[in-house]
């Protein structure tokens, strides 16, 4: 039995493959990085066994479960595992290192593969994640990119990455732009899945060099930034980007084109702001949506909603501003020039 005491142990197991035998929905929510899913009970079968356990008897549940587990395991051996030779060494886990992983690993060993299970299963892995992100110190030098809404901060992150600067794009990881209109056409990951992706990204970093992140709030859509990350971000130096309102409005109209094109859905998304903004302003936005005047709408949203909100929250990091960069426009060429300037500053700055 493999008993990891740290995330490093799980990154360097010495096994050829990690196999998650939990149901597809359990795997989709979160899993050990690099694991493949070979469920020995699918979601319906798992529910069926659980019902038997509660409503009939533990014996009946185990008997039915055993038949399903070995039937499904045999199918995996005939299909997904058919090409592996005798020296292949797999590591198997389930929810808490119990019957599902134990049964599958036993079958693999009977065939001749030196399979082992993770002691405590996925719950062991999850405890290590919680220890790192909720109880520990990330030991990473973060620098935040800040600025008013519409200053192309996400695009600048991408350009900095292309220039060889270490970057973590939290919004891409959370699959959300981090604002009222920031929802994308794909669902956000689970909180646990986000945290696994975060740990995986951190693991790739050179911790002797700074890492650039966007100056987010503590939540990105439904995702909450874990305490170790949020604590490091709150005290990190800030690079603030500024651009004229008109340039930001034009950038936003293009960047949010998929959101702006559906007028009625857009009105629904803006409706919660009626509790904070005047009736006249809400009516103005509605009229601009009806006229499909996207630049004017973005200009007003920035000036009358996002900018005041930013000013209110910016007080918390004004003392941490290490550099300011102005750009007259936000065209792709201007973004390239801005990223070059920031990269140059980062290479010479002592932070």
Give the contacts of 92 (CB within 8 A, at least 6 positions apart): 18, 19, 21, 101, 104, 105, 108, 115, 116, 117, 118
What tokens were used for 348? 């010479």
What are the Cα distances from residue 4, in Å, to 1, 65, 165, 198?
10, 28, 32, 20
- Given the residues 94, 118, 140, 142, select the one marked as catalytic: 94
Task: Let me know if 94 is a catalytic residue.
Answer: yes
Q: 40, 95 in Cβ contact below 8 A? A: no
Give the contacts of 212 (CB within 8 A, at least 6 positions apart): 142, 143, 144, 145, 157, 160, 165, 166, 167, 168, 239, 346
SS3 assignment, position 206: coil
Q: 285, 306 in Cβ contact below 8 A? A: no
Catalytic (active-site) positions: 94
């Amino acid at each position: 039995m493999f008993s990891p005491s740290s995330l490093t142990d799980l990154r360097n197991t010495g096994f050829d493959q990690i196999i998650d035998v939990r149901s597809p929905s359990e795997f989709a929510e979160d899993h050990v990085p690099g694991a493949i899913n070979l469920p020995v009970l699918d979601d319906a079968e798992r529910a069926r066994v659980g019902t038997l356990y509660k409503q009939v008897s533990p014996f009946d549940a185990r008997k039915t479960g055993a038949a399903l587990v070995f039937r499904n395991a045999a199918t995996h051996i005939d299909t997904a595992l058919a090409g592996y030779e005798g020296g292949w060494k797999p590591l198997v886990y389930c929810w808490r290192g119990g019957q599902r992983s134990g049964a599958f690993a036993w079958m693999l060993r009977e065939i001749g593969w030196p399979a082992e299970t993770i002691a405590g299963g996925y719950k062991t892995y999850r405890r290590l994640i919680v220890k790192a992100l909720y109880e520990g110190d990330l030991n990473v030098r973060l620098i935040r990119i800040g600025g008013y809404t519409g200053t192309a901060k996400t695009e600048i992150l991408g350009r900095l990455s292309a220039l060889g600067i270490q970057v973590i794009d939290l919004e891409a990881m959370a699959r959300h732009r981090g604002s009222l209109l920031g929802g994308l056409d794909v669902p956000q990951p689970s909180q646990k899945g986000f945290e696994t992706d975060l740990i995986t990204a951190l693991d790739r970093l050179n911790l002797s060099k700074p890492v650039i992140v966007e100056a987010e709030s503590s939540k990105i859509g439904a995702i909450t930034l874990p305490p170790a990350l949020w604590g490091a971000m709150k005290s990190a130096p800030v690079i603030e980007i500024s651009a004229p309102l008109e340039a930001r409005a034009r950038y936003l109209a293009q960047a949010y084109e998929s959101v702006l094109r559906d007028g009625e859905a857009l009105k629904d998304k803006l409706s919660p702001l009626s509790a904070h903004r005047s009736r006249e302003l809400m009516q103005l936005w509605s009229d601009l949506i009806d006229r499909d005047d996207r630049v004017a709408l973005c200009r007003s949203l920035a000036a009358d909603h996002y900018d005041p909100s930013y000013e209110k929250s910016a007080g918390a990091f004004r003392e941490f501003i290490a550099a300011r960069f102005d750009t007259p426009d936000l065209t792709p060429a201007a973004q390239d020039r801005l990223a070059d300037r920031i990269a140059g500053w980062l290479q010479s700055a002592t932070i």
